Chain A
Amino acid sequence: MAKVQVLNVAVLDNPSPFGNPFQFEVTFECMEDLPEDLEWKIIYVGSAESEEHDQTLDSVLVGPVPAGRHMFVFQADAPNTALIPESDAVGVTVVLITCTYRGQEFIRIGYYVNNEYTDTELRENPPLKPDYGQLQRNILASNPRVTRFHINWEGCAEKMEDSENVDPAPNSMLPPSCTPGKAPPLGLLPDNSMDCL
């Protein structure tokens, strides 16, 4: 069973201008002292069409984690607008928060994000080239989509006991010697990153 249970994620500074950093206040509970850090990531889905446009906004290590209930605020910069297809800038997209332990993803929390112009004029006649300065980001905080995965808490990804619960995160397949932290290339993001939505 999972040693870490996410109890709540509060979306802070929401709604906010598009350029503001994302802020999630995560409350989680840990059953026993974790010898290793948890790795949290915020992934911004740039385009629903292709995961090519997914951006890992930030990844952060959280630790040390003794048994108990903990909270932290995960802040990450707004997505790089250059990587977002212009056609997808306005409208509904998704932001994902994932957590991995020993290279294995065990929870993935997805939120719908609606980007729209606050100005009625702009809303009715959106410019061809998105004006990010005028965009407002609204995260649908009341409706998180949570997917949990069984992982092997005792060892590394290779020793996974439950073959039926295959971790969708590709970096779980990396050998443990790969230093975590180098953000994986964007193209490596899971095919099914939208599955949970």
Chain B
Amino acid sequence: MKLLKPSWVNHNGKPIFSVDIHPDGTKFATGGQGEDSGKVVIWNMAPVLREEDERNENIPKLLCQMDNHLACVNCVRWSNNGLYLASGGDDKLVMVWKRAAFIGPSTVFGSSSKLANVEQWRCVMILRNHTGDVMDVAWSPHDVWLASCSVDNTIVIWNARKFPEIVMTLKGHTGLVKGLTWDPVGKYIASQADDRSLKVWRTMDWQLETNITKPFSECGGTTHVLRLSWSPDGQYLVSAHAMNNSGPTAQIIERDGWKTNMDFVGHRKAVTVVKFNPKIFKKKQKNGSTPKPSCPYCCCAVGSKDRSLSVWLTSLKRPLVVIHDLFDKSIMDITWTLNGLGLLVCSMDGTVAFLDFSQDELGDPLNEEEKNAIHQNIYGKSLAITMESQLSSTIIENPEMLKYQQERQGNQNPNEAQGIGPENQTPKLTNVLNGESLEDIRKNLLKKQVETRTADGRRRITPLCIAQLDTADFLPALFNSVPILPGSSASTQLTPQISSDSSTANSLGLRPSHDPTTTSPNKTAEDNKDSGTAAVNSIGMKSNLLLTSASKIEPMKALDSRFTERSKAMPGVTSVPLTIGITPLDRVKDSSSVKEPKGKDETSSDSEDKIMVKSIAKRKGEMEGAEVVEKRKKGRPRKDAKTMPFPQTPVEPSRLTTPIAVLKLPTPSIQKSFSTQVSTDGVTYLEVENEVSVVSGSRLSQLKWSREGREWDVLLPSRIIIAAGSSNVVAVACEDRTLSVFTACGRRLIPSIILPVPMSALHCSGHFVMALTASAMLSVWDVQKQTALVKNESLNPILSGTDATVSQSFLTQQGVAVVSLSNGKTYCFNSSLETWNLIADKQDSLVQCTDFRNCVSAQDALGSMGPLALTQGRNLSAGRLASRLSSTPHHLQQGMTLAFLEKQLSSALILLSASEYRHWLLIYARFLVNEGEMSKLFLFNRSEWGLELLTSKNNEKSTIKVVCMIPGYTFHIF
């Protein structure tokens, strides 16, 4: 083992609270106190690893520092994919950083400091929710979620795919929450708080799985952090500060039953941080020795307020190494390199230390296949598959999962990844300058820049965009696939779009020709092949982890004396073994035991230490059984290319049995009971209970309607699959392929409608009922007038030729059926023309290039409410890009804006959405006036028929009044 304290890693003497090594191992981040702010610094790893790099002045040590946090930074964590860095601080904020690849070194304008940032990391997201200091942040496996915990006693789970969406706020701690760790399997998240408890939460429903208090009852809330850690095999959770017989310990908690029978003993003061090595190891095979099946084990580093660090192998009863007086103050954070052989530790005293182990000391790290085989064996599934099934409700998951798998295959060659040092990466500019050099542009900037006058006569300059931020995945479609000029084809690559608009957020981003289901089963099969050998391994490993010791007080005494002996060494490195003080297990439970092979590295022959090994075969069987049951309960949505679960129905699709349909839409499965909210008033609910009673052999189902105390219920002879309602009608689709419609008072309106195939989606609005069947046929009925507006119209025209699936469907108040596809396009069916009309397209180049903001008045700046806004997302501000590009001439943009506005008008018209029509009409009129488009203005005067049409259809008095004064013209619209 080598020990290094790189003195150049510092925050000018201010405390360093957190350290984290980047997954690619080329850099690491520190977080802590800055001059008058919080500070995050990104450092180059190479000078830490190699002395010659440290001496080489051409190799930068500091890569980037960010002073954006207003107060001390308590935690920095890289995402697992290495693209993002999350930091949490005393300013109650969580910031997410991303590297801006397009910018070279820069200094801060106006600052005297000549220190340039070699890499540019910019804050792409600020997550505000906590009302107190953020103490710890943690990315979930595969970066699906980001968790943050705070002194406000809560844990917030952020949707890392759709920042700043909050998935859940976990409440239950009654003290400052100071540490978080995700279960590597993805099933749980654990938190430790000052309220003397450690809580484990399920990720499936975000409810409390268990609350562990016993080992913490003696603890005082005196540690700054309580960073706990989960072992890479998922079997053990190790807490920070716990107490056992008045001695500070790190409590080992078993996944199986959350038993707390073992702990790491030896530190003299509270344990602040525990960090498992990401690797699982097996004993180094020595030449000449018989190749016995070696037992995998884990490695864990423990840091304490007593300023010492201990590193443990779960195959040894004593620590591998204990280092005293490494720092002047408490250890605050520990991070392992991904290869498992390096370790960075930081301290309140403002320094960091690097420990470098050899494979002789730690053992041979298992490769990813072996690790997966262990997971496969313990959990019955590999991690990747686990994630997929677990997140089946997260629709956007699939392409991401696929990407992850591809990435992981790519990462199998770690050498390649290592080769990419920071100096090899030339900053690339997202060129938007169309070949012109910056110098050329600067020469003519004043002449070229677009200057307009606002309505009130002010000068308005449109700045020239010289570089886009490469923060694509946090921004709407804008930067993903922007066809800047009309005529260029829209990119076919569908990047999952993160949109602030919740109604579109559900859209699927299935990548054509990559079907996750085709890869997963293969994977399973491979994993199954390996499971034979892995079984042996994991049993061995388990036995290794289950060390016990009869004596738990004596080792501590011995340890204390050793600690004092060595305390003068600066910094003292010793190999004095601590001893695991482990309370006896439930040793009676298992009679059969697996003999643990005696480790050769063991230096101690402490006879008092007994090794308690128990057979896991039985327990494993139990557990796997449980898993199977659970899986069956949860089910998994089929991932046919043509099917997808409907986001608005909280039920899962089941296997489809209809053979007739070419196009298939998923149908919800039957649930025992469910409830839905009706319409938008928020007080009306529909509750369905299937098989509520059995009368003479037939099973009855109950539909219950309630609104503010009033309620009615009806009984149906078949099980109800979907229920929907509006303020006027309630419709239910049953298992026997019937559709029943009731009034809002519970009276049956029409006898059961027989459907040819099962129902996929059902919507009610006003007096209209919309049915989308599993064979992708659409029907809309006006149940009051008893007429069909749309008769069995196929979705074939919009679905054929694409790999898109239906992501959302709804019915407007005027009975217009709207269907959104996963490719970002939204269509409505016009019953008079009997055509499908495209009303919204996320990748429409026109949307990106329009600028009509001058024409939006203050009162309608918020946008309009209505079906059009719902499908397009109200945030149309995503557009207006082109105006900033030097190459877009004003007249071209004007033309595109006009085309866009006219499209909006016609879409609002076809949706019979009067308020939106009015909204866009006003903007259109103002735009025409601003741009002086006289000819269109006169034409436009005649286009009022649209408004008349709408107002007559809507039976409402709607007037629109625009008075525009132009020299020589007075123009009115009423």
B458 at the interface (CB under 8 A from A): yes
Residue of B nearest to A165 (CB): B70
Interface residue ranges of B844-878 to A (CB < 8 Å)? 851, 853, 877-878
Q: What chain A residues lie within 8 Å of B122 (beta carbons)?
A: 31
B748 close to A (CB within 8 Å) = no
Interface of A, helix, strand, loop or mixed by DSSP? strand
A190 within 8 A of B: no
A109-B110, A145-B110 known; A61 vs B445 contact (CB < 8 Å): no
Given known contacts A66-B880, A146-B110, A25 and B442 CB-to-CB distance under 8 angstroms? yes
Segment at the B interface, from A72-80, A114-122, A130-138: A72-80
Asked if B459 contacts A60 (CB within 8 A), the reply is: yes
Q: List B contacts of A62 (CB < 8 A).
A: 460-463
A7 pairs with B471, CB closer than 8 A: no
B446 touches A23 (CB 8 A): yes
Can you list 8 A-B pairs, Cβ within 8 angstroms, ordered by A? A12-B446, A59-B459, A60-B460, A63-B462, A66-B468, A72-B464, A75-B446, A179-B456
Residues of B close to A179: CB separation below 8 A: 456
Residues of A within 8 A of B469 (CB): 29, 31, 67-69
Chain A residues with Cβ under 8 A from B109's Cβ? Answer: 5-9, 144, 146
- Name the residue on A nearest B474 (C-beta): A32
* B329 contacts the other chain (CB 8 A): no
Contact A73:B445 (CB < 8 A) given known A35-B877, A60-B461: yes
Q: Is the CB of B884 within 8 A of A70?
A: yes
Given the interface pairs A64-B851, A144-B109, the reply to whether A71 lies near B463 with Cβ below 8 Å is yes
Say whether B463 contacts A72, CB under 8 Å: yes
CB closest residue in chain B, given A26: B463
Partner of A63, one of B70, B106, B460: B460
Q: A63-B462, A64-B851, A109-B110 are in contact. Are A73 and B880 (CB under 8 A)?
A: no
Task: Name B475's contact: one of A32, A69, A71, A146 (CB within 8 Å).
Answer: A32
Q: B residues within 8 Å of A by Cβ?
A: 68-70, 95, 103, 106, 109-111, 122-124, 126, 432, 442, 445-446, 449, 454, 456-469, 471, 475, 478-479, 851, 853, 877-878, 880-881, 883-884
In the assembled complex, which residues on chain B have CB atoms less than 8 Å from the CB atom of A145? 110
Complex contact A70–B68 (CB within 8 A): no
**Are A64 and B465 within 8 A (Cβ)?**
no
A69 to B467, CA, bound (A): 5
A-B contacts counted at CB < 8 A amount to 119
**Minimum Cβ distance to chain B for residue A153 (Å):** 9
Contact call B465/A68, Cβ cutoff below 8 A: yes
Q: Which residues of B contact A33 (CB under 8 A)?
A: 475, 877-878
Question: Are B106 and A7 closer than 8 Å at their CB atoms?
Answer: yes
- For A23, give the chain B residue with the smallest CB separation: B446
Report whether A70 and B445 are in contact in the complex, using a CB–CB cutoff of 8 Å.
no
Q: How far is the CB of A60 from chain B (nearest CB, A)?
A: 4
On whether the beta carbons of A31 and B446 are closer than 8 Å, the reply is no
Q: Is the CB of A31 within 8 A of B466?
A: no
A71: chain B residues within 8 A (beta carbon): 442, 445, 463-464, 466
Asked if A127 is at the interface (CB within 8 A of a chain B CB), the reply is no
Whether a CB of chain B sits under 8 angstroms from the CB of A140 is no
Chain B, Cβ-Cβ closest to A28: B463
Which A positions have Cβ atoms within 8 angstroms of B? 1, 5-10, 12, 23, 25, 27-29, 31-33, 35, 37, 58-75, 109, 144-146, 150, 162, 179-181
Q: Are B478 and A66 in contact (CB under 8 A)?
A: yes
Cβ contact within 8 Å between B458 and A65: no
Asked if B461 contacts A64 (CB within 8 A), the reply is: no
CA distance A72 to B449 in the complex (A): 7
Question: Hey, which chain B residues are within 8 Å of A59, CB to CB?
Answer: 458-459
Q: How far is the CA of A150 from the CA of B71 in the complex (A)?
A: 13
| Shortest beta-carbon distance from B472 to chain A in Å | 10
Distance, CA A133 to CA B461, complexed state (A):
30
Q: Is the CB of A181 within 8 A of B456?
A: yes
Q: Which residues of chain A are within 8 angstroms of B465 by Cβ–Cβ distance? A: 66, 68-70
10 A-B pairs with the lowest CB-CB distances in the bound complex, closest first: A146-B110, A70-B463, A69-B467, A1-B68, A181-B458, A61-B460, A73-B446, A72-B463, A68-B468, A60-B459
Contact of B466 among A5, A66, A69 (CB under 8 A): A69
How close is A75's CB to chain B, nearest CB, in angstroms?
6
When chains A and B are docked, how far (Å) is the Cα of A146 from the Cα of B107? 14
> If the complex has contacts A7-B109, A69-B467, A72-B461, are A64 and B442 also in contact, measured as CB distance less than 8 A?
no
List of A residues within 8 angstroms of B479 by Cβ: 67
Q: How far is the CA of A41 from the CA of B466 in the complex (A)?
A: 22
Task: Give the CA-CA distance A162 to B37 in the complex, in Å.
Answer: 14
Q: How far is the CA of A145 from the CA of B445 in the complex (A)?
A: 25
Chain A residues in 8 Å Cβ range of B103: 69
Cross-chain contact A73 with B449 (CB below 8 angstroms): yes
Contacts of A150 in B (CB 8 A): 70
Distance between Cα atoms of A75 and B449 in the complex (Å): 12
Residues of chain B contacted by A75 (CB below 8 angstroms): 446
Measured CB to CB, the nearest residue on chain B to A147 is: B110
User: What chain A residues lie within 8 Å of B95 (beta carbons)?
Assistant: 1
Complex Cα gap A9–B479 (Å) = 27
Question: Considering only CB atoms, which chain A residue lies closest to B466 in the complex?
Answer: A69
Give A104 Cβ to nearest chain B Cβ, in Å: 16
**Which residues of A sit under 8 angstroms from B458, Cβ to Cβ?**
59-61, 180-181
| Smallest beta-carbon distance B641→chain A, Å | 34
In the complex, residue of chain B having the shortest beta-carbon distance to the beta carbon of A64: B880
Contacts of A37 in B (CB 8 A): 460
- CB of A87, distance to nearest CB on chain B (Å): 31
A108, chain B: closest CB distance, angstroms: 10
Q: Which of A6, A12, A70 has the most CB of B within 10 A?
A: A70
* In the complex, chain A residues whose CB is within 8 Å of the CB of B461: 60-62, 72, 74
A59 CA / B432 CA spacing, docked (Å)? 28
B123 and A31: CB pair below 8 A?
A: yes
Return the chain B residue nearest A39 by Cβ: B458
- Chain A: minimal CB distance from B37 (Å): 10
- How long is the Cα–Cα vector from A65 to B465 in the complex, in angstroms? 9
Contacts of A181 in B (CB 8 A): 454, 456-458
A64 CA to B479 CA, complexed, in Å = 16
Q: In the complex, A42 Cα to B138 Cα: how many Å?
A: 46
Q: Evaluate contact between A61 and B454: CB separation under 8 angstroms.
A: yes
Distance in angstroms from B103 CB to nearest chain A CB is 8
Per the bound structure, the CA–CA distance linking A99 and B462 in Å amounts to 15
Task: Give Cα distance in the complex from A177 to B469, angstroms.
Answer: 32
Contacts A1-B68, A1-B123, A181-B454 given; indicate if A67 touches B471 (C-beta within 8 A).
yes
Q: For B475, what are the chain A residues with a Cβ–Cβ distance below 8 Å?
A: 32-33, 67
In addition to A23-B446, A144-B110, A180-B458, 6 A-B residue pairs with Cβ atoms within 8 Å of each other are A5-B109, A31-B122, A63-B853, A66-B881, A68-B884, A69-B466
When C-beta atoms are compared, the residue in chain A nearest to B444 turns out to be A73
Q: Which residues of B contact A32 (CB under 8 A)?
A: 475
Closest Cβ of chain A to B468, distance in Å, is 4
B405 to chain A, nearest CB (A): 31
Alpha-carbon separation in the docked complex, A1 to B462 (Å): 24
Distance in angstroms from A3 CB to nearest chain B CB is 9
Distance, CA A69 to CA B449, complexed state (A): 15
Report chain B residues within 8 Å CB of A70. 463-466, 884
Contact B462 A68 (CB under 8 A): no
Contact at B467–A31, with CB atoms within 8 Å?
no
**Which residue of B457, B459, B466, B883 is within 8 Å of A27 (Cβ)?**
B466
Which residues on the B side are within 8 Å of A61 (C-beta)? 454, 458-461
A58–B446 CB distance below 8 A: no
In this complex, the member of A29, A67, A180 whose beta carbon has the largest number of chain B beta carbons within 10 angstroms is A67
Q: Within the assembled complex, what's the spacing in Å between the Cα atoms of A64 and B452?
A: 12
Least CB distance from A1 to B in Å reads 4
Nearest residue (CB) in A for B126 is: A1
Q: Judging by beta carbons under 8 Å apart, are A64 and B124 in contact?
A: no
Chain A residue at minimal CB-CB distance from B445: A73
Cβ of B466 and Cβ of A64 under 8 Å apart? no
A58 and B459 form a contact (CB under 8 A): yes
Contact between chains at A65 and B463 (CB < 8 Å)? yes
Residues of A contacting B464 with CB < 8 Å?
70-72
User: With a CB–CB cut-off of 8 A, which chain B residues contact A8?
Assistant: 109
A64 touches B462 (CB 8 A): yes
Of chain B, the residue at the smallest CB distance from A146 is: B110
